[in-house]
Structure 1
Amino acid sequence: MIEVSGIRVPLSQLDGTEAREQAVIRKALARRLHVRPDELGRVTRRKRSIDARKKGDVQLIFTLRTEFPGGEPAERELLAGLASRRESGSVRLVGTADKDFPLPCAHVPHDQGPIVVVGAGCAGLFCALSLARAGLEPLLIERGDDAARRSRVVRHHDETGELDPESNIQFGVGGAGTFSDGKLQTGTKSPFHRLVLKTFADAGAQQRILWDAKPHIGSDVLPEVVTHIVEMIEEAGGTVRCRCRLVDLDVSGGSVRAVTLRSEDPETGIVTEERVPCSRVVLACGHSARDVFELLSQRGVPMERKTFAMGVRIEHLQTDIDRALYGPAAGNPALGAAPYSLAVHLPSGRSAFSFCMCPGGYVVSAASEPGGVVTNGMSYSDRAGENANSGLLANVFPEDLPGDDVLAGIKLQRACEQAAFEAGGGGFVAPAQLVGDFLHDRPSSAVGGVEPTYPRGVAWGDVSRCLPSYITETIRAAIPEMGRKLRGFDRPDAVLTGVETRSSSPVRVTRGGSLQSVGVRGLWPVGEGAGYAGGIMSAAADGLRVAEAVVADVTEDPKA
C-alpha cells in the first residue's frame, strides 16, 4: 500500500459533499503519482486538515492511501520512478495492520475473583473491552446510569435544577466526555490511537473521525456510541453494572483483597451492599470521584498533588470566530465551524489557555454535588449552535495550595464551586460577566450581543470573586494578548460564565513501572481521574495500556 502525504486541495474545488471530495482527492493523488485516476485502487483518507494561514487561499491538506492492482512489486516500481524524478519525499510504502486488542490469555483466574474495573468513562470502557476480549470476564461498575437514562437525568437537571449526585454530566456510562462534544484530537502519541478511533467508528461514530485532523463525535451521538461499546464488552464475556459504586477497598497487607460495592435499583430505589473478594482492581474513577480519593487517602493508597487548572467558560458568536480564522472562506460547508486553541505565557510566570473548545456549542451545567456550580462545554455533531465556547483557564500549582493535605486541590475546587452557586443565587444558576467589565474589574448587569447558553440561566455580576486572585489576575492579563492572536477574542460583550473547575484531576494516584500503584499490589490507577490522561483519546489509550499490563500480570501469575 502506498501512502502519500501533503496533498493540497484548494477550497474552491470542494462543495462540502462527500462525492465531490472523493472525486477531487482521487484526481489529486493520481497527479501526484503521475498515473491516471483509473489506475488507482481504492483511495482512503488517513488524515485531513485545514491550512487557513492565508485567508484568501484556504486549502485542505490530505494524507491518502491506495493500493495498485499489481500489488507491492508495482508499488515499489512506482516509488523508484518517483525517486528518479526526486519526487518521492512524501510517498512511502506502508503496511495495513494497526495495533489490536491484546491476545486472549491462556487462563482465567476464577479462584481469585473477578477483575473489577471501577468507572465506565473512556479509560474504563476501553480497559474492560480489552480485558473481555482477552477472555478475563471483567466486572465493570459505574456509579451513574446507562447512557439513555443518564441523558434523561441530565435534561431533567437542566429543566428543573434538581441534581442527582450519582448520575449527571460527570457520572454515568461514557464519563464526563459523553457531554463535552467528544473531541478526539490529542497532544499525546500512542500506538493505540488508531484502534480507539476505529472502535468508536465501529460503535456508530461517523467514519470521518478516522481521518479528520481534529475529529469529534458530538454529544448527541456519543450516548449511542458508548452504549454499543458496553454491548461489545458484554458480548465478549464482561459484566457491566450501572448504579453500582465503590464504597470500600480492602488493601490489607499491601495487596488488593476485596471491594465493597453499593448498588441501587433505579426503578425501586432499593440499595444493596456486598463485599466482593478479588485480587485485581482497575481504578478508572474519573476526576470528579471525590469520595473515591477520600477513600484511597483513608486506606493509605499513595497519592500526590498535581497541577490542575480552573477558570471560566468564554462565549463568542461562532460567525465571528469563523471570520477571524477563515476570512472570506468563512461559512464554506467544507470547513464547518472553526475551532481555536490559544495559550499565553505571561511575565508573571503564569499562563492562561483555552480548553475543550466547542465550535457551535453550548455551555453546560456539569455539577455533581449539591450547592456547587460547575460549567463545561459541549457541541452536537453538526456544531450548528450560534455560539463558540471554550474553557479559559489558568493553572493551580501544588505550591499554590496550603499545608500538605493531598486533597487540598479538591477542597479548593469545592470552595470555588460553592462560591459560584451562592453568586448565582441558587438553583444552579451560574454567575456571568461580560469580558469588557471583567477587564475593568466591574460587575456586569445585562447581556450584550452574545446570548449565554448555560441552561440554568445566569446571574450577571462579578465572576472573579468565585476564584483565587492568581487565577483571575492571570486570565485578566491574558485576554488582551489572546485578542491579538485571534481577532475579536477580547470582544467586550463576549460572555464569561463561572466556574470551570473540573478540567483535570488535582491528585495523582501514584503508580510504578508495572502501572500498578506503588504501594498496593493489584491496584491499577488509570485515566484522567488517576492523573494519567487529559481527554478522551489519552484516557482510552491509557486504559488499553493498563489492560495489556493486567493481561501480562495474569498470564505470568503462577496462581492463575
Structure 2
Amino acid sequence: MLEVTGVRVALSELDGTDKHERSACKRALAKRLRVGADELAGVERRRRSIDARKRGSVHLTFTLRAGLVGGKAHERDLLGRLARAKADRGVSLVDEDEKAFDFPAPVARAVATRPVVVGAGCAGLFCALSLARAGLAPLLVERGDDAARRAEVVGQHNRTGALDVESNIQFGVGGAGTFSDGKLQTGTRSPAHRLILETFVDAGAPCEILWDAKPHIGSDVLPRVVDDLVRQIEAAGGEVRCRCRMVDLDVSGGRLRAVTLAQEDAGGCVREERVETDCAVLACGHSARDVFELLRDRRVALERKTFAMGVRIEHSQAAIDRALWGPAAGSPVLGAAPYKLSCHLDSGRSAFSFCMCPGGYVVSAASEVGGVCTNGMSLFGRDGANANAGLLANVFPTDLPGDDPLAGIELQRRCERAAFAAGGGAYVAPAQLVGDFLQGVASSAAGRVEPTYPRGVSWGAVDGCLPDYVSNTLRAAIPQMAHHLRGFDAADAVLTGVETRSSSPARVTRGEDGQSVATAGLWPVGEGAGYAGGIMSAATDGILCAEKIVESLAR
C-alpha cells in the first residue's frame, strides 16, 4: 500500500460533505501519483489538517493511503518511476499487515484478588477496559453518576444553582472531559493513540476522529460514548459501580492491603465496605481533593508540581474566524476556527490558552459548596456564537508557602471562594471586559460579546480572585498574544473567573514500575495523579498502567 503525505485539496473542491471530500481526495491523490483515478483501490484518509499559513489561500492537506489495482508489484513499480522523475517526495510503501498496538493479552493464571480502579475518567475507563479484557474482572468505582443521570444533575445546577458535590461537571462517568468538548488533540506520541481513537469510534464517536488533525467528539456525543465504554467493561467481566467512592486505604508494611468503599443507594443511604485487594489503580482526577487528603494522611508519597490558574476568555467566534481564516471565514468546510497561544514574559512568567472551545460555552465547573470555577465546552457541531478558552498563568511550587504537598489545592480553594463571593453567591461568576482589565478598572456591563456562563455573571473585576502574579502575568500577556491573533485584546471580549482546575497541583509519586514509591500495589494514573494532560494522554496512561499490572502478575 502507498502512503502519501501533503496531498493538497482546495476549498473550492469541497462542499463540507464526507462524500464530496472522499471524491476530492481520490482525484488529488491520482494527480499526485500520476495515475488514473480508476487505478486506485481503497483510498483511506489517515490525517486531515487545515493549512491557513496564507490567509488568502486556505486549503486542506491530507495524508492518504491507497492500493493500486494490480497489487504490490505495481505499487513498487510506480514508486520507482516517481523516484526517477524526482516526484516521490512524501510517497512511501507501508505494510498493510503492520502489527498494531493492542490491549494487554489475557492473564494466564488466576489471581488472589481483583484490581480496584478508583475513578471513571478516561484513565480509569481505559485501564478498567484493559484489565477486563485481560481477564482480571476489575471493580471500577466512580463517585458520581452515570452519564445520563449526570447530565440531568448538571442541568439542574445550571438552572437552579443546586450543587451535588458527588456528581457534577468534575465527578461522574467520563470525568471532567465529558463536559469539556472531548478534545482528542495531544502533544504526546504513543502507539496507543490509534487504538484509543478506534475504541472511541467503536463506542459511537464520529469516524472522522481517526484522521482529523484536531479531533473532538463534542459534549453532546460523549455521554453515550462513555456509556458504551462502561458496557464494554461489563461485557468483558468487569464491574462498574456509580455513586461509590474510596474513603480509606489499609496500608501496612509498605503495601496496600485493602480499600474501604462508601456506596450510596437510591435513597441516599451510604454503606461502607472493606474490599481486600493488593492492586488499586488511583485514577480519581485532580478535583478529588478528599482523596489527596486521605493519601497524605496515610503517608502515600505526594509532591508539589507546577499547575496553572486564570480565567475564561470569550470572543465572538466570527471575529476569531476572520482573524484566522481571512476571506475563507464562514466556509462550511472549515467550521469554527480554533487557536492556541502562549507567551513567555521577561519576568520569567508564562501565560497560555488552554482547552480552547470553538463555537462553545463557558460552564460552571464547581464541585465544592461555596466555590466558583469555570471550564469550557463545545458541542460536536461547534456552532455557538462565541469562542472561549482558558487564559492561564503558571503557578510554581516555589510560589506556595510552607511544605504541605497540597498547598496548591488550598490556593485553588481560596481563589474559588473569592470568585463565589465576588459573584454574589448562587454560583454566579465574576466577569470583566478585557479592555477594562487591561486598564485596571471594573466593568459594569457587557459589550458586543455576551457571556455564556450559565449561572450568569456579576460585572466588576477579576483581579481580587487571583494572586497578583497571575493577574499581572495575564495583563502583560494579552497584548502580546494579540500580535499573533488579531483582536485577541478586543476591548469587549469577556473574562469570566476563575479557571483553577486545568491540571493537578500535586503528583502522587510513582516509580518506574508504575506503582507508588511508598506503597506497593497502589498505581497512580492520569491527570489527577499528575501524569497526563488531556483525554488522549490520560487514556494512554490508563492502558500502560494495565500493561504493567499484567506484567507484574506474570512475574
Q: Does 1:63 align with 2:63?
A: yes
* Aligned-residue offset at 1:68: 2.5
Secondary structure in structure 2 of the residue aligned to 1:66? strand
Identity %: 70
Deviations 1:435-488 (A, max 9, x none): 011001111111111000000000001101000000000000000111111011
Which residue of the partner structure matches residue 372 of structure 2? 373
* Aligned-residue offset at 1:312: 0.1
* Aligned-residue offset at 1:83: 1.4
One-letter identity of the residue aligned with 2:392: L
Deviations 1:125-145 (A, max 9, x none): 001101111111111000000
One-letter identity of the residue aligned with 2:453: Y
Secondary structure in structure 1 of the residue aligned to 2:68? coil
Matches of residues 194-209 of structure 1 in structure 2 within 5 Å? 194-209=194-209
Q: Quick one: distance in 2 between partners of 1:88 and 1:547?
A: 42
Secondary structure in structure 2 of the residue aligned to 1:256? strand
| Contiguous gaps of at least 5 residues in structure 1 | none
* Aligned-residue offset at 1:251: 1.4
Matches of residues 101-116 of structure 1 in structure 2 within 5 Å? 101-109=103-111, 111=112, 113-116=113-116
Q: Quick one: distance in 2 between partners of 1:70 and 1:203?
A: 36
Which residue of the partner structure matches residue 500 of structure 2? 501
With normalisation by structure 2, the TM-score equals 0.99
Higher mean alpha-carbon deviation, 502-511 vs 81-90, is at 81-90
* Aligned-residue offset at 1:70: 3.0
Secondary structure in structure 2 of the residue aligned to 1:376? strand
Which residue of the partner structure matches residue 408 of structure 1? 407
Q: Is the 8 A contact 1:533 1:542 kept in 2?
A: yes
Q: Quick one: distance in 1 between partners of 2:68 and 2:272?
A: 61
Deviations 1:311-360 (A, max 9, x none): 00000000000000000000000000000000011111111000000000
Q: Quick one: distance in 2 between partners of 1:45 and 1:127?
A: 29
Secondary structure in structure 1 of the residue aligned to 2:256? coil
Which residue of the partner structure matches residue 267 of structure 2? 268
Matches of residues 436-475 of structure 1 in structure 2 within 5 Å? 436-475=435-474
* Aligned-residue offset at 1:74: 2.5
One-letter identity of the residue aligned with 1:158: N
Deviations 1:79-116 (A, max 9, x none): 2222112222211122344211111110230x2x2100
Q: Quick one: distance in 1 between partners of 2:386 and 2:65?
A: 36
Which residue of the partner structure matches residue 356 of structure 1? 355
One-letter identity of the residue aligned with 1:178: T
Q: Does 1:48 align with 2:40?
A: no
Higher mean alpha-carbon deviation, 512-521 vs 424-433, is at 512-521
| C-alpha RMSD of the superposition | 0.8
Matches of residues 179-258 of structure 1 in structure 2 within 5 Å? 179-258=179-258
Q: Is the 8 A contact 1:251 1:258 kept in 2?
A: yes
Higher mean alpha-carbon deviation, 454-463 vs 89-98, is at 89-98
One-letter identity of the residue aligned with 2:408: G
One-letter identity of the residue aligned with 1:106: A
Secondary structure in structure 1 of the residue aligned to 2:57? coil
Which residue of the partner structure matches residue 485 of structure 2? 486
Which residue of the partner structure matches residue 5 of structure 1? 5
Which residue of the partner structure matches residue 394 of structure 1? 393
Q: Quick one: distance in 2 between partners of 1:345 and 1:149?
A: 42
Deviations 1:36-64 (A, max 9, x none): 11111111100000011111111100000
Q: Quick one: distance in 2 between partners of 1:117 and 1:94?
A: 38
Q: Quick one: distance in 1 between partners of 2:443 and 2:322?
A: 27
Secondary structure in structure 1 of the residue aligned to 2:248? strand
Deviations 1:261-313 (A, max 9, x none): 00001x21121100000000110010101000000001111110000000000
Q: Quick one: distance in 2 between partners of 1:321 and 1:554?
A: 52
Which residue of the partner structure matches residue 420 of structure 1? 419
| Contiguous gaps of at least 5 residues in structure 2 | none
One-letter identity of the residue aligned with 1:355: F
Q: Is the 8 A contact 1:108 1:135 kept in 2?
A: no
One-letter identity of the residue aligned with 1:458: V
Higher mean alpha-carbon deviation, 509-518 vs 84-93, is at 84-93
One-letter identity of the residue aligned with 2:211: W
Q: Quick one: distance in 2 between partners of 1:193 and 1:161?
A: 38
Q: Quick one: distance in 1 between partners of 2:315 and 2:459?
A: 17
Q: Quick one: distance in 2 between partners of 1:27 and 1:302?
A: 58
Which residue of the partner structure matches residue 98 of structure 1? 100
With normalisation by structure 1, the TM-score equals 0.98
Deviations 1:160-201 (A, max 9, x none): 000000000000000000000000000011111111111111
Secondary structure in structure 2 of the residue aligned to 1:257? strand
Q: Is the 8 A contact 1:304 1:508 kept in 2?
A: yes
Q: Does 1:175 align with 2:179?
A: no
After superposition, the Cα gap between the structure-2 partners of 1:104 and 1:71, relative to the gap in structure 1 and judged at 3 Å, is farther
Secondary structure in structure 2 of the residue aligned to 1:44? strand
One-letter identity of the residue aligned with 1:46: R
Q: Quick one: distance in 2 between partners of 1:514 and 1:541?
A: 16
Secondary structure in structure 2 of the residue aligned to 1:452? coil
